[in-house]
Amino acid sequence: MKTKITEIVQGIKKKHVNDPTVSTDKDLISELMLSDVSGAITALNELDLDTLEWISSRFEAISYQLQNKEWVEGLKRLLIKFPDSQTLKEDIHDAVEAYYGDEGLKNSVLPKTD
């Protein structure tokens, strides 16, 4: 899965910023991750920061669809691995909120990254 995600992101990087197929490419990555949660978590942990930042905008929707604690915990571990990424911090916060909801988020422990 890591190889497939990396290939798709490399293709996205070559496209114009307003190319409408970028959204289709990101949808494909989302479908891959939704089809195999544990494989997705493993793949995300192996990806570099740049690749993660290209796809992290989809984490919230995936989290909402999955409602899977293993997925959310895997995302939280990315914050520990890449504590200086504001993009990841924001996107993962949104993904955790999509799992826990507003009230549950208050009780969820996000790793300290400051």
> Distances in Å between the alpha carbon of 33 and those of 16, 64, 111?
25, 13, 23
pTM of the model as a whole = 0.85
Tokens linked to 43: 């793949």
Q: Is the pLDDT of residue 24 over 90?
A: yes
Q: Is the pLDDT of residue 106 over 70?
A: no
State pLDDT tens for residues 45-91: 999 999 999 999 999 999 999 999 999 999 999 999 999 999 999 99
The mean pLDDT of 27-36, rounded to a whole number, is: 96
- The whole-angstrom separation of Cα 103 and Cα 51 is 31
Q: Is the pLDDT of residue 112 over 90?
A: no
pLDDT for 102 equals: 61
Q: What is the mean pLDDT of the chain?
A: 91
Rounded to 5°, the CA angle 63-106-81 comes to: 55
Spans of all domains in the chain: 2-8+21-107
Q: Is the pLDDT of residue 114 over 70?
A: no
State the burial class of residue 49 (Cβ atoms within 10 Å of its Cβ: 0-12, 13-18, 19+). middle
pLDDT for 100 equals: 84
